[in-house]
Structure 1
Amino acid sequence: MSRSRRAVQWLQPGLVVKRWMLTSGLGLLLALLGAAILADLKPIYWSLESLNWLLSNMTRVLPRGVTGPLVLLGGAALVVWGQSRSFGSIQQALAPEKDTLLVEALLAQRRLNRGPNVVAIGGGTGLATLLSGLKRYSSNITAIVTVADDGGSSGVLRREFGVQPPGDIRNCLAALAREEPLLTRLFQYRFKSGSGLEGHSFGNLFLTALTAITGSLESAITASSRVLAVQGQVVPATNADVRLWAELENGDRIEGESCIGRAASPIVRLGCTPERPPALPRALEAIANAELIVLGPGSLYTSLLPNLLVPELVQAISRSKAPRLYICNLMTQPGETDNLDVEGHVRAIEAQLASLGVTRRLFTAVLAQEPIRDRALVDHYRARGAEPVQCDVRSLRAKGYEVMVTGLQGARPTGTLRHDPRSLALAVMRFYRRHKGGRPVLEPV
């Protein structure tokens, strides 16, 4: 892009540049006027006489109709060239190694700042996938994350240091990060060897250390967000030390998030210890200001429903006037959602809310995957005990649900059946548009 075109970009609406350029010009004129007054006005007379002489001689050589436009264009060119070089120097000082031009970055940030206030609730890789897509449409994102994990690196740190599990929070921070990719990769790096380090991710250790230093996971997340330049905020669902339990159809009761994911019988009821954990004020404030609330995607009983065990969150969602959308998984999860279709997932959410005394539907709209055409990949998953989550659109609509069915896997063939961040975010933003008076879908950044 030429320097002149870059300079013109600075004149686009919303950058709050033109007004300050005009303010600077006015300030320069006032400074010159003050200097002239201080010098007994003589410089003004000299300047006017010199300007009158110059204009008289110029119009003798060239007609006024030619001289005026030439001088005007010359002055404008000098202004544009000077401003372009000035902003180029600013770009070189602030981000010498980045390819994105400063004006383009400011325009992109302006679009993101105008994006809707979105609250995304969940956990696991599903929530991180959604966030990585949504951050192309808005910087006003709040991720409310479950803190019930007790397996893997998070489980070890939870048992040995008494901290809340950092794994799902780490994934969300990395998904919303705007900092250099290398720093994000470092945050997600998992040690593959080393006594005591194997299996741990650097981000989990970082958050655990920050929690010890700052005194709370919430403060550690805030500090990490500054390091990673997180776009939005990540908030734990609760600051309580939550332990999940589940009652099964065969009468057994199992405890721990890692065990619930491998249940030998269908889950009938989910609960936690302590009962009725408190919500964080930041989460409640985000829900109160939300323009869109999204639940999922993610593991039904270990990533989504644990958030609905926090009564204050449920009450805040119930009071909200924002449209609310549940995003269903693409595939069932062996031992957790065997044989459940989309309607079965919805019934499980309703049953969980009913156990808390909530009779009103919180999520009246459902986003589901259209039939998957890659039979070989589906057969591969079936061999591992997973099935595509079927969606009976007619039945759901008959029960009063708004149903959106679209391709959420993405256009490019992959070796896994997972949500594609861009396809998923586009579907969510189309849902938002539908409920906000037909506004055009915001352009992704």
Structure 2
Amino acid sequence: MVGMDMEAPLPAEWAEARRRLELERQGNEVLQGQVDRPTRIVAIGGGTGLPMVLRGLARRATPKAREPGIDITAVVAMSDDGGSSGRLRRQHGALPPGDIRNCLVALAGGKNALKDVFQFRFGGARGLAGHAVGNLLIAALAELKGDFMEAVRMSGELLGARGHVLPSTLASVQLVAQMHDDTEVVGERNICRAHGRVRRVTLSPRSPPPTDGLLEAIYTADLIAIGPGSLYSSVLPNLLVDGVAQALKETRALKVMVANLMTQPGETDGMSCLDHVQAVTDHVGPVLDAVLVNGTPPSEESTRRYARRGSFFVATNPRDLIGAGVVPVQADLLKAGSRIRHDSRKVAACLLKMARSGL
């Protein structure tokens, strides 16, 4: 899993960085050999990146001989104000259900007809047009029960989700971005449309309260996966919830950023892997232990096609990452095919290996 040739190997530096990290984590139960309980993994993010991680983990969630199961908790950003979720927020005062829905579906096991129902989106131009059935169901259950978390729990039960999904906060929040030209943009949808370089994001209201159980999940995890996904609109909003940054600093869990494969036009233009790490540090301090990066370059044809859309391969320099205090872990993470995507099985395998055996 380690030492692919994106750059000349740095075995001595890598070994020393890993040794220091392992010494700091000697209190971790898994590393002490107590593997008679499920491996606890918390995955933080939103958008399409988080469901990718969850799909891979869900396939490994059932305990096997000589291998414990996995206790999966997904932590989802709640600042989405576009599409179906945005309409439900504006018209009904609902919390945004879209990313929650995608995570529940990702955790649903095997062939499940309800997954298709949850993901079905109405066509047309009026009324229900554009709404996903799962969004409507979660919003309806929340209104019926007067409890958004109960709606999430019931939806997960219907789907047979192999894990838990937690909104990072139950407050109604908006994402606010300070751009490099000193302008301020309010709302995730507007930020995505602004096509300017983001300097910093905050939540409004600032430091909203965490959902019950979120901080406990962070403190008791064996590994916390952060990303991949839209850095400023899907990943960082979770870390800005009250208490989350402090919990990440204090937990004994291994904290791993799953690096994005490609830059996102209008949001992370020109940013390297180190820049992504630095953005996290700038917002919440030095909370990352390691970065899981792809070590296999995509085909030239694929990179040219993405370049025409303004998206480029995220550059990674292991020496720079080590200098920033994080351990680079390289592996072949690409999914086969013409699209440049993470392979959920490969990502899950790497995360599980780190959670159970360290770096």
TM-score range relative to shorter protein: 0.7 to 0.9
- 2:274 is matched with 343
Matched, 1:428 2:359: no
Give the 3-state SS of the residue equivalent to 1:423 in structure 2. Answer: helix
- Cα distance in structure 2, aligned partners of 1:261 and 1:369: 25
**Pairing of 1:64-75 with structure 2 (within 5 A):** none
What's 2:239 paired with?
308
Pairing partner for 1:172 from 99, 103, 107: 103
Q: Give CA deviations for 1:337-379 in whole Å, capped at 9, x if unaligned.
A: 00001001011111111xxxxx4x2112001112423110110
CA 264–193 in structure 1, closer or farther in 2 if over 3 Å, else same = closer
What does residue range 243-282 of structure 1 map to in structure 2 within 5 Å? 243-282=174-213
Match of 2:329 among 391, 404, 410: 404
Match of 1:329 in 2: 260
In the superposition, the TM-score normalised over structure 1's length comes to: 0.69
Could you tell me which residue of structure 2 aligns to residue 418 of structure 1?
Answer: 341
Instruction: Give the distance between the partners of 2:138 and 2:43, measured in 1 at CA.
Output: 21
Q: What is the correspondence of 1:25-64 to structure 2 with a 5 Å cutoff?
A: none
In structure 2, C-alpha distance between the alignment counterparts of 1:375 and 1:113, rounded to whole Å: 46
Deviations 1:313-358 (A, max 9, x none): 22222221111100111000000000001001011111111xxxxx
- Write the mapping of 1:163-312 to structure 2, written as runs, cut at 5 A: 163-178=94-109, 180-193=111-124, 195-312=126-243
CA contact (8 A) 2:104 2:159 kept: yes
* Residue pair 1:262, 1:334 contacting (<8 A) in 2 also: no
Stretch moving more, 333-342 or 209-218:
209-218
After TM superposition, list the pairs within 5 Å mapping 1:341-380 onto structure 2: 341-353=272-284, 359=285, 361-380=286-305
Aligned-partner SS, 1:324: strand
Q: Does the Cα contact within 8 Å between 2:39 and 2:356 map onto a contact in 1?
A: no
189-198 or 374-383, which moves further after superposition?
Answer: 189-198
How far has the Cα of 1:128 moved from its partner? 0.3
SS at match of 1:226: helix
Asked if structure 2 preserves the Cα contact closer than 8 Å seen for 1:262 and 1:336, the reply is no
Structure-2 separation of matches of 1:396 and 1:187: 40
1:317 is matched with 248
Q: Deviations over 1:82-127 (max 9, x none)?
A: xxxxxxxxxxxxxxxxxxxxxxxxxxxxxx9953011111101100
Residue 128 of structure 1: aligned partner: 51
CA RMSD of aligned residues (A): 1.7
User: Matched residues in 1 for 2:242 and 2:265: separation?
Assistant: 29
Q: Aligned equivalents of 2:90 and 2:213: distance in 1? A: 27
Return the offset for 1:229.
Answer: 1.2
Alpha-carbon offset, residue 260 of structure 1: 1.5
5+ residue gaps, structure 2, are 1-34, 62-69
Give % identity.
Answer: 41
The count of corresponding residues between Structure 1 and Structure 2 is 317
- Select the residue among 308, 315, 319 that pairs with 1:390: 315
Deviation digits for residues 228-282 of structure 1 (CA, Å, limit 9, x no counterpart): 1111100000010000111111111001001222333321111111111000121
> Match for 1:421: what amino acid?
S
- Map of 2:28 onto structure 1: none
**Cα displacement (A) at 1:180:** 4.3
Measure how far apart 1:226 and its partner are. 1.1
CA distance in 1, matches of 2:97, 2:196: 29
Structure richer in helix, relative to its length:
1
Separation (CA, whole Å) in 2 of partners of 1:396 and 1:152: 36
Determine helix, strand or coil for the equivalent of 1:207: helix
Taking the aligned partners of 1:202 and 1:194, their CA distance within structure 2 comes to 16
Alignment of 1:82-121 (within 5 A): 114-121=37-44
User: What amino acid does structure 1 have at the position aligned with 2:328?
Assistant: V
Partner of 2:24: none
Aligned residue for 1:261, secondary structure, equals helix
Alignment-mate amino acid for residue 184 of structure 1: K
Letter in 2 for 1:151: G
2: CA distance, partners of 1:250 / 1:213: 45
If asked which structure has higher relative contact order (CA below 8 Å, sep 6+), I would say: 2
In 2, are the aligned partners of 1:266 and 1:336 still within 8 Å (CA)?
yes
2-structure distance, mates of 1:373, 1:183: 34
Moved more, 369-378 or 182-191: 369-378
Asked whether 1:148 is paired with 2:79, we answer yes
Q: CA deviation at 1:179?
A: 6.5
* Equivalent residue, structure 2, for 1:18: none
